[in-house]
Amino acid sequence: MRHARRRVVRRVTRLAAVGGLLAGGVMVAQAAMASETPPASARPFNASGTAADPGAALVARLGTARTAGNWIGADGRPVVAVTDASAARAVRQAGAEAKLVPHSMNELKSATSNLRSAPRVAGTAWSVDYRTNRVVVLADRTVSAADWSRMNRVASGIGAFVHMERMKGAFTPRLNGAQPILSTGGRCSAGFNVTDGRSDFILTAGHCGPSGSIWFADNQGNQQLGRTVSSTFPGNDFSLVQYNSGKAGEGADVVALGGGKGVRITGAADPSVGQRVFRSGSTSGLHDGQVTGLNATVNYPEGTVTGLIQTDVCAEPGDSGGPLFSEGVALGVTSGGSGDCTAGGTTFFQPVTKAMAALNVRLLVAAGSAGGAQKAAPSAPAAQGAAAPSAASPGSAAPVTGTTEGQTLLARLTDTRTVGPGLLVIAGSLIALVATRYIRAEQDRRAYQRYYSATWG
């Protein structure tokens, strides 16, 4: 995979070591502790995208035996890969561009099925490249020469349209090195706020932590956000963190970009190949790039994840779980990849539509946003209109709101203006207990960070 350096749109200011707000690639979650919650509604999401995406609609009508995917061209027009002249005429009559290719989607999917049935090799990934009509298999630097040779034999047995590529980096989940949401197991970025109609949650990556993980907004353990109540990894890569208060609070529909700036999220959809997208993360900030593949499979050291969005957007450790979006439409949460934001890289995302369907939750957006709280959101390509992919924007600007950094627990407990002298002994005992737990948590965090730093490529 080509490692093209992507332009940095904005760098996120790292959080202070003591306390701090949730920022950079995070839905504004610190407001979960607010006593008042402004009106908010759950937005249904478009799981297929075919109604608003003419290319996908044509693929659905013509069938996978006569087509091989669709994407957005450089001029913003939909392009559909077809296998016969009759299908090409139908595409052109519908106002889209047709590209004749030798292999149908059925053949391409059969190839990926054969790759999945072969013995698993950690450090490999593959996806269908619609634009070149190939299945591209990637192998990172951890794949041995013997495994690489065996993978080449499997590919040769499938056909010449399976393209093999070696990479310099290593495929790893993007976990350690960030502070936006913190547990004794590591650090991640929050993704999007969702609800099941009774309680609100943070949708983030599944590899960030198993069910039962407790998350904080700061490394002092002052601002407890919630607990992971559902986690799936490997196979898929998504999880739900339930807010302690049950409500996401003010700013639930805003993705923070850093510097007090944010983007308002108005709906969710599936992306298209060639679409310009944006990823915000707590380590590397806001970056942009293009979707290069769909339904990708990645063999992480921890296990295999399928059905992912593949992009050339860069990411770094700590960006895991952070949001992928375009034109204010939620697309995915960061799973993992290789490279960094200096040299560029490949990053994979868990589609939000699939995650929300599996978890039976809906996206939280502000009431009345985008023409009605209960109106289904359009797919991202439709939101772009006829503009070329490079003309897309993250979405409408919105301020990041929430609580400000308060006193530390130690300061609150020992403030004689608010705590009577008779309670200082009790306060001292609580301080000792908190200090013991903090030291243990810090030891766990450091051990976790050392492990991921050692495996980071």
- Is residue 28 within 8 Å of 200, Cβ to Cβ? no
Is 237 catalytic? The answer is yes
Listing DSSP states for 144-207 in one string gives: -HHHHHHHHHHHHHH-TTEEEEE-SS--EE--SS--SEEETTEEE---EEEE-SS-EEEEE-GG
Q: Map 345-376 to HEC letters.
A: EEEEEEEHHHHHHHHCCEEEEECCCCCCCCCC
CB atoms within 10 A of CB 276: 24
**33 by DSSP, 3-state: which?**
helix
- Looking at residue 116, its amino acid is R
The DSSP bridge partners found for residue 323 are 333
| Residue corresponding to tokens 């200082």 | 424
CA distance 317 to 334: 11
Check 53, 129, 237, 312 and give the catalytic one: 237
Is 379 catalytic? The answer is no
Check 53, 129, 183, 207 and give the catalytic one: 207
Check 104, 320, 326, 379 and give the catalytic one: 320
Residue ranges of the alpha helices (H) in 72-220?
85-93, 105-117, 145-158
CA distance 135 to 103: 10
**431 by DSSP, 3-state: which?**
helix
The DSSP bridge partners found for residue 8 are 287
CA distance 256 to 15: 13
Element (H, E) at 238: strand 238-243
Residues annotated catalytic, as ranges:
207, 237, 320
